[in-house]
Amino acid sequence: MATTARHTATLALAHALSAAERGLPVFPLSPTKLPALRSPHRGQPEPVLCRGECGLPGHGVYDATTDPEGVRALFDAAPWATGYGIACGRPPFHLIGIDLDISGHEPATGTTPDSVAALQQIAFEHLFTLPETVTVLTPSGGRHIWLSGPPNVVVPNSASRLAPGIDVRGSGGYLVGPGSVSTRGAYRLAPRTADLAAPAPCPRALLRLLTPPPRTHARQGRPAQQGEGLVHFVLAAHEGQRNTRLFWAACRAYEHGFGELLADTLVEAALHTGLAEHEARATIASARRLTRTR
């Protein structure tokens, strides 16, 4: 059993190094698909908003690097890692991930899974064609479509905003890399795309859908900047601190007067960390009630 675990960890490192060599920033993941290294700020009395500025590992996607020695150091610190994450939105590819959840559908029925059909319908309505690009097959039967974005465009993370069952991984998010092993199984490249060297450019029409215009309150400047920091704070949460971080961020947003404007974005960030939607909305509702009482 120990030999199998070591073999899985060794393969994960090998795949991560291969990805880093191609210019993809990587960091180790646990079998639960969460960052393998715990935050160095855990246990502190007040939440710490740090994205690696402290110089210590344990900041999730912000640990991601293409430096081979840096990758080895991260995996040495997390020998239990069985996979690796690839940071989205970072140069040179500014990766955008389209995550199609098609679990629960049986291929033998001959029907097209809902999320795939929804993406096809979106492409038809908005007059674009998805290019042939790197595609990763997930253990649950889903797939991750990799696209390259322009360097001057920030694509936000979202959950089912584009359509039910379609999540988007953009700046501050990550994709599970091919060759990773989770508790549900292995991630692997789709056969027809395995030889592609880089993700294809994102169609402009799709890019416009992924980057909605900023809400009018963003012109106020200060609330928008504070809101961005709160969202990143939630995204950096590890298992066991997701509710606490979300509650703290929601309280700060309501205290500064833009809680309602940021609520949906905080929910999306919480979903990205693995929190269920009903839990996230209940936590934000608690923050709203508490701050109104104050």
pLDDT for the residue numbered 109: 45
C-alpha gyration radius of the chain:
19
Position 102 confidence tier, pLDDT thresholds 50, 70, 90: confident
Specify whether the CB–CB gap between 268 and 161 falls below 8 A.
yes
Q: Which residues pair with 147 in a beta bridge?
A: 96, 200
State the average pLDDT over residues 239-262.
85
d(CA 164, CA 46): 36
172: left (phi over 0), alpha (psi -120 to 50) or beta: left
**Average model confidence (pLDDT) for the chain?**
86
State the average pLDDT over residues 149-158.
90
State the average pLDDT over residues 139-165.
90
State the average pLDDT over residues 249-257.
86
Q: Which two tokens stand for residue 112?
A: 């097209």
d(CA 27, CA 36): 8
Residues 80-103 as b/e (b if ≥16 CB within 10 A, e otherwise) read ebbbbbbbbbbeebbbbbbbbbbe
Q: Which two tokens stand for residue 178?
A: 């091919």
If DSSP codes are grouped into helix, strand and coil, which group holds residue 161? strand
Q: Please check the confidence at residue 111 and state whether its pLDDT lies above 70.
A: no
Looking at this protein, which amino acid is placed at residue 235?
L
Looking at this protein, which amino acid is placed at residue 29?
L
Which comes out higher in pLDDT, residue 127 or 239? 127
